[in-house]
Amino acid sequence: MSIKISETLTFECETGNYHTFCPISCVAWLYQKIEDSFFLVVGTKTCGYFLQNALGVMIFAEPRYAMAELEEGDISAQLNDYQELKRLCLQVGKDRNPSVIIWIGTCTTEIIKMDLEGMAPKLENEIGIPIIVARANGLDYAFTQGEDTVLAAMAHRCPEQENFIVNPQKSEKKSMENLISSLSIETEKIKQSLINRQNRFSLVLFGSLPSTVASQLSLELNRQSINVSGWLPAQRYTDLPILGNNVYVCGVNPFLSRTATTLMRRRKCKLIGAPFPIGPDGTRAWIEEICSVFGIDTQGLDEREQQIWESLRNYLNLVNGKSVFFMGDNLLEISLARFLIRCGMIVYEIGIPYMDKRYQAAELTFLQTTCKKMCVPMPRIVEKPDNYNQIQRMRELQPDLAITGMAHANPLEARGINTKWSVEFTFAQIHGFTNAKDVLELVTRPLRRNNNLENLGWTDLVREG
Amino acid sequence: MKLAYWMYAGPAHIGTLRVASSFKNVHAIMHAPLGDDYFNVMRSMLERERDFTPVTASIVDRHVLARGSQEKVVDNISRKDKQERPNLILLTPTCTSSILQEDLQNFVDRASTISDSDVILADVNHYRVNEIQAADRTLEQVVRYYLEKARRQGNLNLALTDKPSANIIGIFTLGFHNQHDCRELKRLLKDLGIEINQVIPEGGLVENLHQLPKAWFNLVPYREVGLMTAKYLEKEFGMSYISTTPMGVVDIANCIRQIEERINLLSPISLNEKVNYEPYIDEQTRFISQAAWFSRSIDCQNLTGKKAVVFGDATHAASITKILACEMGIRVSCAGTYCKHDGEWFKEQVQNFCDEILVTDDHTEVGDMIARIEPSAIFGTQMERHIGKRLDIPCGVISSPVHIQNFTLGYRPFLGYEGTNQVADLVYNSFTLGMEDHLLEIFGGHDTKEVITKSLSTDTDLTWNSESQLELNKIPGFVRGKIKRNTEKFARQNGVAKITVEIMYAAKEALNA
C-alpha cells in the first residue's frame, strides 16, 4: 500500500468501522454546564454501563442525570411508556426540582419508535416542568454530535425576539411587563437587549463551553466593541438567549451543524460562518469574521496573536517538524489539525466522523491557506474512517504522534507510536487566545514524556510474532 | 422503566466479549450501533492491554434500521477472517440487535461457509441475563461447540493424563484479580503435584479445547463463571468438578481435601498410591500463610466484635463474610450480593455468619443499609467505597465492579495461601489501627477539626447549643460523626429540637440500653 500526500485537500469516505464515544456522553458536560437541568437518558443497560464507566468518578457525585432503564416490558409495550416516563419525571421533579428535564433518546427508543417528541409536550403540561427531547443516539451520531442534538432542540425554547422588537413605540411598556411576568429574565438582560437594539443587531454564540472560557471569548469580542447578547446554552436554562431575525449567531465548535441549521431555518437567525476559535490563529480569524459582518475594523488583533505565539515558543520548538495522525472521533479534528499545522507540524491524515462542508466551510478554507502558508502538503481528510485500515497506514507512516481514542492508545504505545487521547480535547479548555497553551500542553505531553524516558531502550514493548 | 445511574453488573454482551477476548486468537464482532464498542476502552485502560482488543462492531446505522443488515454482517465476518485469521469469530448480539430481531443465525451460517474461521452466534438474550450470566453461558457454548466438533471429527481423546491434572475454568479478562489468582492456583496445584491441563478462557486456544476431558477434574474458583461449563463436562464426560472457592484458610483446606478425594478415587488406576494432603495443609496453615497466626495475634484481638458490612459478587462476598466471621472474629452485621440470580446459594452460604442478608442490585438500598448500620468498616465494590467516603467509614474493595486501581501491577491474589495474607492485610488496614483507636479514646483524639456532618440525610432541623458543641468536639474525630448522628436520631425520635449535653448523654444511655 502506498500513501500519497496530496497537494490539494482530498476527501475520502471509508467504512465507518471506527471507535468513538456514544453521543449520550454529552450529558457529562452539559449537566455541569446547565446548572438547573436534569438529563434523563431513556435507554438500556448498555447505555447506562457506558455512562457509568466513561464518566468515572463523576458518577459518585450525585450527578443530575439518570437512566430511565428500559426493561423487557417496555420493549414489548406491555407497559405504557407515557405512564412510566411520568412516574420517573415526577420523581426527578420531587427529588431535584430542575428547571428543565432533557430526555435523551437512544438507539432503543429509535428502534421501538417511542414517540418522545409527542409525549414531551403532554407530560410537560401535566407536571409543569419543561421537557426537551434530544435524539442523541449511536444510529445517527458520533460523540460530540450529542451536544449538537441537545442544543438544536433547545434552540426552539429560546424566547422570541419579536416580543421585544415589534412595535417598539406602541407596546414597549406592555411587552416589558409581559417579559418580566412570563419569562423571569433578569433586568440585566433587558438592558442588554435594549443596548443591542440601539446597535440594531445582537449576537448570540452557540456551543457549550466552561463559563470561564465563555467569558474569555465574550471579553475578546468586547474589546472590539461587540456585545455578546447571549449564549446557547446559558449557565441556567432560565437564561436562554433571545432569538429572532435580527439576531446574528456564530458557532464556537465545529460539531454544531444541526444547531446552526435550526437557528437559521427555524429561528430565522443569521449565521456567521467563521473558522472556530481554537488556537490563536483560529481565534483571530473568528473575531475578524464576526467584526467584518458588523462592519467593525478590528483593533490590536495582530499584536494580540503575535503575543500569544511568542508565549508558546517553548512548545513550538518541541512540535516543529513533527508529524501527526488524527484517527478521528470528536469532530474537532479539522480545527486542531489547522492549528497544529500553523505550529509547524505535518498532518498526514485527518480522520473525522462526519464532515459538514458547509458549516465548516470557513475552517476548511483556512486549513488550506494555512497549509500553503506553512508550505506543507495538504492532509487527506477521511470521513467515517476505518480504524483497521488507519492502523495499517500508521504502520507505514510511523507518525510522531497519533491522536486517538482510548481503545487504541495503549496498543499503539506498546508498538512505539506516541499517542494522545482525543477525548481530552473535548474536556480540556481549548478555545480562545488564553487557552492555546492548553492545546499544546496536551499535544506535547507524550513528546515531553519521551524526552524524559529517552535512551532507556524500551519503546517497543510487544513480542514479535 | 427503572430510574438508575449505577449498576453492579453490566449488560449481557460485555460478558460474551470478556470470554471471547480472553481466548487467544478469537475475534468478536458485535452487531451494534456506533459507540457500543466501549468494551475496548475498558480492556485497554483497566487491563493496560498491550494488544488491540479483538472486538469490532458491525455497525447498525439508519440504513440497517431501514433495510436490515443484508450483506453487511457477512461481509464484516469474512473481512475479519481474512485480516486476522482468527480460529473463531463470535458474533455478539447487543440490546439493539435483540429488538431488531434480525436472523443473525442465518448470517452466521452463511459466513461460516465462506470463511476459514469457525463462526458462532453467542446465545445470550440482553433482556434476560446480565454480564455475569452471559459470560458463564458463552464459555459453556464455546466449549460445547469445540467438543462436539471434535467428536464429529473423531479426534476426541478421552484418556486421562498419566499424572493427576486439572483444568482451571473461569479465569478471564476484567475479572477481579483474576490474573493473580490464576498464578496462585497454579502454584497451589503444583505444590500438590497436580499438572495443569488447561486454563480457560484466559490465554487458552479454542483448538485445544477438545483436550479438556484429559484432566482428572475441573476446578471452578469463582461461582459466577465456569459452573455451566463444569456441569456440561460432568454430564458429557463424567468429569467431576470442585467449586469450593479456595479463599480463606478454612475454605482452602476444604478445597484441597476435595481435590485429595477426587485424586484418590482415580489414582488406583494410574498412581498405585493414595495422596495425603493433610501435612501440606497443616504446614501451610500454621507456618507459611500468616493469616492463621494473625488471627491469634494481639492486633486481631482488637478487631473482635467490631461491626463490618460485606457486599459484592456472590463468590467474594460469601468468602469474605466467612473469613471475617470465622477466621477473625469480626461481627458481620450484613452480608449482601448483587448476584440476584444466585441469591439462594448466597443465603445458604452466609446464613450463620452474619446478622442479616441483603440481595439487591440497587445501590441506594445498599447505601441506606450501610448508613443505618454504621459499621466500623465496609468490604464492598467501588460503589461501597464511595458510600464509605461520604459516611467517613473505611472500605476495602473485595469485588467487581472496580476501577483501574484494582488492577494492580503488584502481586495481589485473593485465592490460595498468599491470598490469605493479602486479605488479612486488607481487612486489618481497613479498620482504624487497634492501639491507635484505643489511645485516641483515652486521650480524646488528636484533631480539633470542626464537627463532621457528612451523612446521607440532609436534615438540618436540629441545633446544637454551645456546650454540646464543645462536648462533641472532645470526641475523637473518627467516631464523632457517628455520635452526632446517633444523638440527632435520638433527639428526633423524642421530638427535641435543641441538643444539649444532657440530650447527648441521654442518647448514649438509650443506645446502650
Crossing angle between the packed helical segments A211-223 and A279-293, to the nearest 10 degrees:
50
More confident residue, A281 or B63: A281
Which 3 state secondary structure label does DSSP give B94? coil
Instruction: Please identify among residues 394-433 of chain B the ones whose CB lies closer than 8 Å to any CB of chain A.
Output: 403
Please name the residues in contact with B151: beta carbons below 8 A apart, sequence gap of 6 or more.
none
Q: B35, A23: Cβ pair inside 8 Å?
A: yes
High-pLDDT (> 70) share of chain A, %: 88
Most confident of B46-55, B136-145, B396-405: B136-145
pLDDT at B488: 85
Residue B287, pLDDT above cutoff 60: yes
Q: Do B6 and A52 touch (CB under 8 A)?
A: yes
Residue A465 has pLDDT above 80, yes or no: no
pLDDT at site B87: 96
Q: What is the pTM of this model?
A: 0.87
Q: What is the pLDDT of residue A462?
A: 79
Average pLDDT, chain A: 88
Per-residue confidence (pLDDT) for residue B172, from 0 to 100: 92
- Return the residue matching grid coordinates 507456618: B287
Taking residue B374's Cβ as centre, other Cβ atoms within 10 Å add up to 18
**Phi, psi angle pair for B69, to nearest 5°:** -70, -25
Task: State yes or no: is B162 an active-site residue.
Answer: no
* Residue B449: per-residue pLDDT: 44
Q: How far apart are CA B10 and CA B38, in angstroms?
A: 12
Would you tell me how many other CB atoms lie within 10 Å of the CB of residue A8? 8
pLDDT for A57 equals: 60
Cell matching residue A121: 409536550
Q: What average pLDDT does this structure show over A346-369?
A: 96
- Mean of pLDDT over chain B: 89
Provide the pLDDT for residue B390: 84
Q: Give dist(CA A162, CA A176) in Å, integer.
A: 12
Kindly report the backbone phi and psi dihedral angles of residue B256, in degrees, each rounded to the nearest multiple of 5, phi listed first.
-65, -40
Interface size A-B, in CB pairs within 8 Å, comes to 159
Q: Does the pLDDT at position B275 exceed 80?
A: yes
- Alpha-carbon dihedral sign for residues B405, B406, B409, B410: positive
* Ranges B13-27, B98-112, B332-346: which has the least confidence: B98-112
pLDDT confidence of residue B266: 85
- The tally of CA atoms less than 13 A away on the side-chain side of residue A162 is 4
What confidence tier does B442 reach under pLDDT thresholds 50, 70, 90? low
B174 with B46: CB under 8 angstroms? yes
Beta bridge partners of A37: A100
Cα separation of A17 and A13, whole Å? 11
Would you say residue B109 has pLDDT above 60?
Answer: yes
- Which residue of chain A is at minimal alpha-carbon distance from B65? A111
The residue-averaged pLDDT of B23-32 equals 95
A40's enclosing H/E stretch is strand A37-43
pLDDT in tens, B344-381: 999 999 999 999 999 999 998 999 999 999 898 999 99
3-state secondary structure B324-378: HHHHCCCEEEEEEECCHHHHHHHHHHHHHHEEEEEECCCHHHHHHHHHHHCCCEE
Residue B458 has what pLDDT?
47
Task: List for chain B the helix, strand, coil content (%; round to 5).
Answer: 55, 15, 30
**Residue labelled with grid coordinates 512505539:** A416
Q: Which residues of B touch A44 (CB under 8 A)?
A: 11, 95, 126
Q: Do B56 and A388 touch (CB under 8 A)?
A: yes
pLDDT at A166: 46
State the Cα torsion B247-B253-B254-B257 to the nearest 10°: 140
* Chain B residue at shortest CA distance from A423: B41
Q: Inform me whether the C-beta atom of residue B29 falls under 8 Å from chain A C-beta atoms.
A: no
For residues B205 and A309, what is the distance between their CA atoms, to the nearest angstrom?
Answer: 55
**Between chains, do B60 and A139 touch, taking CB under 8 Å as contact?**
yes
- A58 residue type, one letter: M
How far apart are the C-alpha atoms of B36 and B13, rounded to whole Å?
10
DSSP state of B213: G
SS3 A120: helix
**Which residue of B36, B60, B99 is in closest CB contact with A112?**
B99
- Give the chain A residue nearest B385 (alpha carbons): A60
CB count in 10 Å sphere of residue B513: 5
Contact between A421 and A406 under an 8 Å Cβ cutoff? The reply is yes
For A110-164, the pLDDT digits (tens) are: 999 999 999 999 999 999 999 999 999 999 999 999 999 999 999 999 998 765 5
Q: Is the pLDDT of residue A7 over 80?
A: no
CB contact under 8 A, A17 and B56: yes
Q: Do B6 and A20 touch (CB under 8 A)?
A: no
For residue B268, pLDDT beyond 80 = no
Q: What is the pLDDT of residue A189?
A: 53
Percent of chain B with pLDDT over 90: 63
Helix H, strand E, coil C: the string for A163-228 is HHHCCHHHHHHHHHHHHHHHHCCCHHHHHHHHHHHHHCCEEEEECCCCHHHHHHHHHHHHHCCCCE
**B-chain residue closest to A138, CA distance:** B34
B3/A71 touch (CB, cutoff 8 Å), yes or no:
no
Q: What is the 3-state secondary structure (H, E, C) of A307-341?
A: HHHHHCHHHHHHHCCCEEEECCCCCCHHHHHHHHH
Say whether pLDDT at A384 is over 90.
yes
State the amino acid at position B256 in one-letter form.
I
Q: Is the pLDDT of residue A355 over 50?
A: yes
A256 vs A335: CA distance, rounded Å: 13
Shortest CA gap A125–chain B (Å): 21
Residue B273 forms contact with A (CB below 8 Å):
no
Active-site residue, selected from the candidate residues B299, B361, B362, B425: B299
Contact list in B for residue A84 (CB cut-off 8 A) is: 1
Query: Which of B3, B35, B49 has its CB closest to that of A91?
Result: B3
| C-alpha cell, A275 | 473558522
- The DSSP letter of residue A55 is S
Matching residue, cell 475520502: A12
A171-209 pLDDT, tens digit per residue, is 444 444 455 455 444 555 555 555 554 456 799 999 999
> CA-to-CA distance for A284 and A433, rounded, in angstroms?
8
Which residues in chain A are closer than 8 Å to B7, comparing Cβ atoms? 45, 48-49, 52
Q: What does the pLDDT read at residue A53?
A: 86
Bridge partners of A132? A102
Q: How many Å lie between the alpha carbon of A455 and the closest alpha carbon of chain B? A: 21
User: Does B83 sit within 8 Å of A46, measured CB to CB?
Assistant: no
pLDDT tens digits for B215-237?
A: 999 999 999 999 999 999 999 99
In chain A, the percentage of residues whose pLDDT exceeds 90 is: 75
Of A59, A139, A461, the CB nearest to B50: A461
Query: Which residues have a Cβ under 8 Å from the Cβ of B30 and sit 6 or more positions away?
Result: B13, B17, B36, B37, B55, B56, B57, B58, B92, B93, B94
The ipTM estimated for the assembled molecules is 0.86
- Looking at CA atoms only, how far is residue B366 from chain A in angstroms? 14
Structure confidence at residue B460 (pLDDT)? 60
**Any CB–CB contact under 8 A between B271 and chain A?**
no
d(CA A244, nearest CA chain B) in Å: 33
Cα torsion A148, A154, A158, A160: sign: positive
Per DSSP, the three-state class of B26 is: strand
- Within 10 A of A4 (CB to CB), how many other CB atoms are there? 8
Q: What is the reported pLDDT for B269? A: 66
Q: Give the C-alpha distances (Å, rounded to integers) separating A387 from A326, A454, B36, B430.
A: 11, 29, 15, 45
Beta carbons of B497 and B461 less than 8 angstroms apart: yes
Out of B14, B40, B57, whose CB is closest to A17? B57
Residues 6 or more apart from B465 whose CB is under 8 A from it?
B498, B499, B500
Q: What share of chain A is helix, strand, coil (3-state, %, to 5)?
A: 50, 15, 35
pLDDT tens per residue across span A47-96: 999 988 887 766 666 788 999 999 888 888 888 999 999 999 999 999 88
User: Given an 8 Å threshold on Cβ–Cβ distance, is A59 in contact with B76?
Assistant: no
- Distance (Å, whole) CA A337 – CA A346: 9
Q: What is the tens place of the pLDDT at every residue in B325-352? A: 999 999 999 999 999 999 999 999 999 9
Average pLDDT (A284-312) is 94
CB-count exposure of residue A452 (10 Å: 0-12, 13-18, 19+)? exposed
Q: Is the predicted pLDDT of residue A1 greater than 50, yes or no?
A: no
- Higher-confidence residue of B127 and A455: namely B127
List of E strands, B155-302:
165-171, 195-201, 217-219, 240-242
Nearest to A221 by CA among A267, A177, A283, A272: A283
pLDDT of residue A375: 92
- Indicate yes or no: CB of B95 within 8 angstroms of CB of A71: no
Q: Which residues of A touch B381 (CB under 8 A)?
A: none
